[in-house]
Amino acid sequence: MSDELPEALPKEPTGSISRRDFLKKTGWIAAGVLAPAGALELIFGLKGASSAQAAEAATTAQTVPHWQFLVDANKCVGCGFCVKACKLENDVPYEADASRTWVERHVVTKDGVSHVDSPNSARDGFTTPDIDIGEGKTLQINPEDIAKAFFVPKLCNQCNHPPCVQVCPVGATYKGPDGVVLVDRTWCIGCGYCINACPYGARFFHPVYHTAEKCTFCEHRISKGLLPACVQACPFAARRIGNQNDPTDGVAEVIATQRVEVLKAEYGTNPQCFYIGLDSEVR
Amino acid sequence: MVFLVVVLLVARAIYIPGDFGIHGTFTYNFYRQANVTEWQSVPVKYQGRSYCGSCHQRNYDLIMASPHSVIQCENCHGPGIGHPDTVKKLPIGNSRQLCARCHTYLPYPASGRAVIPGIDPGAPHAPTGMECYDCHNPHQPVPLPNS
């Protein structure tokens, strides 16, 4: 169908094109351009919804976990042990200014200004009241001027509609069967689209592998029944992980039955990382 | 034209592994299936403190009965992978920086930091040249009498 249009176009006489003709042709071109996309969607749409696959999905849903994360920001003290554990567990070079997870400090002053920092991704915690404003400079804030201040741990949201996966041109990043978004390092060409597409800034280039890098919820640990390194390291249970497909899972129950929030819900990414004690200052 | 298509198809068969394809929906689950197993077989480095306790029983019992019972051994001593077989000793670290992570006083009443006793980790509390563990047992930090 789409092959016909380009050949037909040059044959038309030029110069004497009527308004009616013009509109008609434009209509055909538009239809021709849109048709393949529509057809594709139809084919893949039908494929996705085929009854055999739906049945398969229904049976695996019970056995295959779907991981979700719960952050209680009220409990975070900013010790940064989660970041330390994550970097060491997952071979992210310790001195590199890049990390799969990080902790933000939000200091809101009484004049309404929000100061946010995460020095070295909070690998060494927060051991000074001075705010890191980059380039080795710090900002001193008078304790009297602070309206509120708190810590917010951040990590990949393992979105159910991950924009990072949609933009990958080579199929190197994907949502795995347990809901965790992974990167195939042998397949990744390092184009960086996914890094730009993530609204949460959760992706970066791995300084050694030169491929896109991100939190895997410690896939190698959770698949063996262990906790992710950051969850195990957190002394205050500010970080927890749960399995949505396990009806006895306490964390999944909290997420399902209590008041939790997600980051940037307006992006429609359906994040699987849920927060307790989030402030409207936190994006 | 036909030749080109054949070449491309042959190249595809050679270069693209058989398990590369749609495992779910086209939009989100288009991948090489063996990669999931590759990620799952990454070695575990943080062992958890029940492993440490199997040899360092005394430290384990001490800390579990103390206000520091919430802190994992490996937070302060680093990941236990290879210890004690290839890594004979785990570091006992720079205690000032370790302790300062939680005990530096920060004026943030709304944060979790407010419920931990806070100090100024420098002099005069901890004079230069002294480590926190010179006066406090990290595995059993009990309130000390005012000196």
Nearest to A76 by CA among A159, A156, A157, A149: A149
Token pair listed for A246: 């396990």
Q: What is the CATH number of domain A67-74+156-276?
A: 3.30.70.20
b/e per residue, A21-42, with b = 16+ CB within 10 A?
eeeeeeeeeeebeeeeeeeeee
b/e per residue, A154-166, with b = 16+ CB within 10 A?
bbbbbbeebbbbe
Asked if B36 and A176 count as a contact pair (C-beta separation under 8 A), the reply is yes
CB-based contact B46 A184, cutoff 8 Å:
no
Q: Where in chain A is the domain with CATH 3.30.70.20?
A: 67-74+156-276
CB-based contact A129 B107, cutoff 8 Å:
yes
Residues on chain B touching A221 (C-beta within 8 angstroms)? 44
Cα-flanking dihedrals φ and ψ of residue A201, to 5°?
A: 60, 30
Whole-number pLDDT of residue B94: 77
Pick from B35, B44, B108: which is nearest to A182 by CB?
B35
Q: B147 to chain A, minimum CA–CA distance in Å?
A: 25
**Cβ partners under 8 Å of residue A190, min gap 6:** A205, A210, A211, A212
Whole-number pLDDT of residue B14: 84
What DSSP string describes A38-72? HHHHHHHHHHHH-HHHHHHHHHHHHHS--EEEEEE
Question: For an interface test with A, which of B64, B68, B75 has the most A Cβ atoms less than 10 Å from its Cβ?
Answer: B75
Q: Is the peptide bond before B124 cis (omega within 30 degrees of 0)?
A: yes
Q: How far apart are CA A86 and CA A83, in angstroms?
A: 5
Mean pLDDT of B116-138: 91
- Location of structure tokens 């940064």: A80
Residues on chain B touching A125 (C-beta within 8 angstroms)? 100-102
Q: What pLDDT tens digit does each residue of chain A (283 aa) get?
A: 333 333 333 333 334 445 555 556 555 555 544 454 444 444 444 444 445 555 555 555 558 999 999 999 999 999 999 999 999 999 999 999 999 999 999 999 999 999 999 999 999 999 999 999 999 999 999 999 999 999 999 999 999 999 999 999 999 999 999 999 999 999 999 999 999 999 999 999 999 999 999 999 999 999 999 999 999 999 999 999 999 999 999 999 999 999 999 999 999 999 999 999 999 888 8
How many angstroms separate the Cα of A79 from the Cα of each of A26, A186, A240? 62, 35, 16
Cα-flanking dihedrals φ and ψ of residue A68, to 5°?
A: -135, 155
Q: How far apart are CA A68 and CA A243, in angstroms?
A: 6
Whole-number pLDDT of residue A45: 40
Q: ipTM value of the model?
A: 0.91
Span A15-66, pLDDT tens digits: 444 555 555 655 555 554 445 444 444 444 444 444 555 555 555 555 899 9
Residues on chain A touching B115 (C-beta within 8 angstroms)? 77
Span B2-51, pLDDT tens digits: 889 988 888 888 888 889 999 999 999 999 999 999 999 999 999 999 99
Residues on chain A touching B110 (C-beta within 8 angstroms)? 148-150
Three-state secondary-structure class, residue A14: coil
Mean pLDDT of B106-120: 93
Show which of residues 26-55 on chain B sit within 8 Å of chain A, judged by CB atoms. 26-32, 35-36, 39-46, 48
Nearest to A113 by CA among A278, A227, A281, A283: A281
Kindly report the pTM of this predicted structure: 0.88
Residues on chain B touching A48 (C-beta within 8 angstroms)? 24-26
What DSSP string describes A63-111? HS--EEEEEEGGG-----HHHHHHHHHTT--TTSS--SSEEEEEEEETT
